[in-house]
A = this chain, B = another copy of it.
Amino acid sequence: MKARIHVTLKSGVLDPQGKAIEHALSQLGFQGVDEARTGKVIELNLAESDPERAREQVDLMCRQLLANPVIENYDIELTT
């Protein structure tokens, strides 16, 4: 089973990388980009085949290692 985890900054948290992208896009002549936000995506190959247990396990990984719950949100997508 594969898990894809998106880790994004909570709204309100400053995102300097996103600001740099906005600035660079406008310098390159791309108009009409209001906002850019960046985040991480982590793809895991899991041995676990039960979706519920896999989700619990990945949720625990996110809270312990992959995300910082103070400033980041995460969401988990599972695919077989």
Contact = CB atoms under 8 A, between A and B. Distances in A.
A71 interface: no
Contact of A39 (B25, B36, B41): B41
A21 B66 contact: yes
Nearest to A37: B43
A34 interface: yes
Nearest to A22: B44
Interface string A21-48: 1001100101111111111111111111
Contacts of A18: 42
Contacts of A38: 40-43
Given A28-B65, A31-B47, A39-B43, 6 more contacts: A32-B48, A33-B44, A33-B47, A34-B46, A37-B42, A38-B41
